[in-house]
């Protein structure tokens, strides 16, 4: 994957969170995606399980974070 493709995937992921767009987030992740926020959330005393595969990641993050626009 080149830099342009990497940057595009990161843009789609963050834009999906901003807009609560599950389809856009799916397009940014592989089917075997893993999101591990356990170290970060432990610092604020939250328990957050490792998310995988893509369907679980999208469902959890879109439901918990997006949309952020007002």
Tell me the per-residue pLDDT of 15-44, one tens digit each, with 9 for 90 and over: 999 999 999 999 999 999 999 999 999 999
**pTM of the predicted model, to two decimals?**
0.82
Q: Is residue 28 part of a domain?
A: yes
Total domain count, the chain: 1
Q: Is residue 30 part of a domain?
A: yes
- Binning pLDDT at 50, 70 and 90, where does residue 63 land? confident
Q: Is residue 69 part of a domain?
A: no
- What is the rounded CA–CA span in Å between residue 63 and residue 39? 21
How confident is the model over 37-61, as a mean pLDDT?
A: 94
Q: What is the pLDDT of residue 69?
A: 60
Q: Is residue 16 part of a domain?
A: yes
Q: Is residue 70 part of a domain?
A: no
């Amino acid at each position: 994957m080149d830099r342009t493709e990497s940057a595009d995937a990161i843009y789609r992921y963050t834009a999906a969170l901003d807009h609560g767009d599950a389809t856009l987030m799916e397009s940014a992740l592989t089917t075997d995606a893993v999101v591990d926020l356990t170290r970060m959330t432990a610092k604020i005393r939250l328990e957050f399980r490792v998310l995988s595969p893509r369907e679980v990641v999208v469902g959890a993050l879109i439901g918990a974070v997006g949309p952020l626009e007002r």
